[in-house]
Amino acid sequence: MENVLLRCGPFGARDGEGRVLFESAVLELPERSVTVLEGPSGCGKSTLLRMISGLLPTTGEEIRELGGRSYGRSELPEWRAGVTLLAQDAPVLPGTLEWNLEWPFRLRAADGRAFPRERAAALLEAVGLGGVAADREARSLSGGERHRLALVRGLLWDPPVLLADEPFSGLDRKMAEVCRRLLEAFAARSGHAALVVLHDPIVDRDSVRRIRMTPRGMEVA
């Protein structure tokens, strides 16, 4: 097994009625890997992703380590800049398609990085959005188009780790395949990894690392 790039946990969550969804979930992602998070619908996969990203409140006793560096609670914004969640339903900000790719580079977290305009054009072309006008209002895009836009935004941001919550929903098989390859290429590089929640197991199950969520914890399948 290669170096562990990300280690975080333990996390626990309950559903609306107080039943335990998962307890002491600890997650490790090896470098240069795509890990698929599996589990029945409603078992808390999205919740776990949002807890890893620190968008949902947690006990505060968990550890968050990325590339050997440990992140405290007050460093959550820096952590998220490096362990970036592509949320379910691919939200967009009001504004143009181009603005929706560019805004992360205006954040303090960008640390002066410039928006890679040429790579953006190439990626948009690759996911079939090359023909969409750059000044098109992003909120008018279809669900599938927004998911592709979200993936391109994540790839341009290029953090060490992407947490992708159903990134291929609303895509036809051919386009889902294109997007999967892009995500795999992202994660195959040194210092990178991806954790993916998938509704349809379109990835080749044998080619990726799989983790099954159970109420007792995580099992590497």
Partner 1 sequence: MNPALIALTPSDLVVASLFVLVAAGLSVALRLGLERRILVAAVRTVVQLGLLGLVLERVFAVRRPIVVVAMIAWMIVFAGREAVARSTRRYGGIWLDAWLTMTVSCLLVGGVVTRVVVGVTPWWEPQYVIPLLGMILGNSLNGISLALERLLEHLDTRRAEVELLLAFGATRAEALREPLRTALRTGLIPITNAMTAAGIVALPGMMTGQILAGTPPMQAVAYQVVVMFMLAAANAIGAVVISLGATRRLVTREGTLRLERLFRAGGARGRGKGRAVRRSAG
What are the residues binding partner 1 (CB under 8 A)?
Answer: 53-57, 73-82, 84-87, 89, 91-94, 103-104, 107-109, 157
Beta bridge partners of 75: none
Of the pair 29, 81, the CB lying nearest partner 1 is at 81
- Measured CA to CA in angstroms, residue 139 lies from 36, 90, 100, 145, 152 at distances of 29, 11, 10, 10, 16
Q: How far is the CB of 41 from partner 1 (least distance, A)?
A: 20
Of the pair 57, 68, the CB lying nearest partner 1 is at 57
d(CA 107, CA 211): 33
Q: How far is the CB of 187 from partner 1 (least distance, A)?
A: 18
88 Cβ neighbours under 8 A, 6+ residues apart: 46, 165, 166, 197
Of the pair 71, 168, the CB lying nearest partner 1 is at 71
Of the pair 153, 180, the CB lying nearest partner 1 is at 153
Of the pair 18, 131, the CB lying nearest partner 1 is at 18
Q: How far is the CB of 74 from partner 1 (least distance, A)?
A: 6
Q: How far is the CB of 61 from partner 1 (least distance, A)?
A: 15
Contact 138, 149 (CB under 8 A): yes
Q: How far is the CB of 221 from partner 1 (least distance, A)?
A: 27
d(CA 171, CA 202): 11
d(CA 58, CA 79): 15
For residue 104, whether the previous peptide bond is cis, meaning omega lies within 30 degrees of 0, is: no
Structure tokens that stand for 107 in this block: 């954040």
Q: How far is the CB of 144 from partner 1 (least distance, A)?
A: 17
Of the pair 111, 206, the CB lying nearest partner 1 is at 111
For the CA atoms of 150, 155, 158, 161, what is the dihedral angle to 10 degrees?
Answer: 70
